[in-house]
Amino acid sequence: MKRRKLVLAAMIAAMAVPSLSALAYDGDILTITADSDGDPFTWDTSTDKLAAMIEDKFGIDFQQSETNYYNNDFTVTQLAAVDGTLPDVFCADILYYTQEITQFIPEELVAEIPEELLEKYPLTKQLLENDKVAQTVKSMYDGYYFLPKPDSADPTIYKAERKGIFIRKDWLETVGMEMPTTWEDLYNVAHAFTYDDPDGNGVKDTYGLTGDGMGTLRYFFSSTGVSNRYWGKDEEGNWSFGALDDKNIEPLEWLRKMYEDGSIDPDFGASTWETGLQKFSSNTFGMCVRNADADWINGVATKYYGAANPDCNPFERIDVIPALAEAEGETPRMDGYVSCMVATMFSSEIDEEKMDRFLAYYEYLLSDEGKMLRLGLEGEDWQKNDDGSISLIRDENGNAPALTTKYPCIPVTHWPSWGFELQADPNVETFDEYNEETKALNKQACDIRNEDPVYPEVGPLLIDDTTVTDAQAFNISSEYWTIITGTEPVADMFADMKERALSSGYADATEVVQEKAEELGW
């Protein structure tokens, strides 16, 4: 297969990235047009100290592309790729718009990153080697064509998806129960929260489970050992869609019992995360399904529960169920982290000098020193304490710097990850309130989730075939809720749903996935 390659001008030797203090670029400044994966950035070295430092030390003048492709409809990016007008560096939703892989690569609309060049940048190379999507794409197209943007640049922190069920631990104490670890436990706790007066007011005005609907709750079906939301294969190499596996019947039966018991939100099937958190924060429901990484844990504690209950320390009331097990004594399991949804790609028109210069900067951002640029500049926005910890420098009112205002170029520090590694790091102050409590609870949740994740197969996510993509029109989450709220036996309703799903497209999709997997050796 013919592919776009950059020809290196000289032999490339491996090298480590020096510290920022050792860098001082004394050659020509290269202008690199770039896209942001958020709000557009601006670049003015006369007013932005961070931009001035980056330009001085790395010889890069970043310029925001005229169109912020990440925030536009995919067809805008697609047309620019075909026309050859993409910026040098751009952000791509590669798992939402798989054409950025399946079209852009074979049609040479993006540049390959030469592996010889990557030898210079060991942290970048390691990031690619640890990324399941990058490795799958490499097996398909024999090369690297993007830089991943995982939740955390440190893959050991979030090995599993960052989901959780927030729970009132003070209510648990009132009803005399332990943290639930199985579906049966979850049912029993939901029942107690509904009928045993956990708030002690003598009124039946509390309930068990709410949250943001079946889409997130389905992650907890990984307790069965099957990834509910993704394609998987059995030991014989037979592929199937996880949500159609009969192992899902047992969790659905417990949720049916919960619904019949009146201890799950009757509107759960159509609930949004905002509505769920409002109900949880109003002390009406004792459990709420939502994301539960460090950022969300802190957000639930401060922006939702804490804001609605200002006279309490929310961490004295809130805990997190990070995963569930099938049976008592078994390990709770959660879907393994799928890897990047967002990636950084290079235009087919970029030259080798610009790519090399960008990779040198990217490598620095992955280093222990470079990742701190997310917090601004040392000595001005944050400081290293005698014990090695990092604290924010605050003004006389206790406010930390507003970095997006102070440094309009700050998005250019965000390419290698979403920064979850800093939010999880107990030695780095990243939250204005409850910093230590947040990080302790996050570690507790991660320790449980990370023990034995159920890793999904990522290959089918990259299949650009309408037979596969159209099958997803069958609304699994809605069908599950119909089963939960139904009156016929759960197993019978599941069998009927499965038959309809297969006939509506999943049977044909399975054949395509099986054929593609055998072709590519998945």
Class of 20-156+339-418 per CATH? alpha beta
- Phi, psi for residue 48 in degrees, rounded to 5: -110, 105
* Segment 140-199, tens digit of pLDDT: 999 999 999 998 989 899 999 999 999 999 999 999 999 999 999 999 999 999 999 999
Q: CA 82: distance to chain centroid? A: 29
pLDDT, tens only, 67-111: 888 878 899 999 999 999 999 999 999 988 999 999 999 999 999
pLDDT tens for each residue of 432-490 = 999 999 999 999 999 999 999 999 999 999 998 999 999 999 999 999 999 999 999 99
Other C-beta atoms closer than 10 Å to the C-beta of 464 total 13
pLDDT for position 73: 86
489 CB-near residues (< 8 Å, 6+ apart): none
Q: pTM of the full predicted structure?
A: 0.91
pLDDT digits (tens, 9 = 90+) for 280-337: 999 999 999 999 999 999 999 999 999 999 999 999 999 999 999 999 999 999 999 9
How far apart, in Å, are the Cα atoms of 336 and each of 147, 150, 169, 228, 457?
20, 13, 26, 11, 10
Angle formed by the axes of helices 49-58 and 352-366, to 10°? 120
Show Cβ contacts of residue 88 under 8 Å, excluding neighbours closer than 6 positions. 32, 33, 34, 346, 347, 349, 350, 354, 358
Say if 20-156+339-418 and 163-335+433-449 have the same CATH topology.
Answer: yes
Q: Report whether CATH 3.40.190.10 matches the domain 163-335+433-449.
A: yes
Could you state, in order of their start, the residue ranges of all structural domains in the chain? 20-156+339-418, 163-335+433-449, 465-520
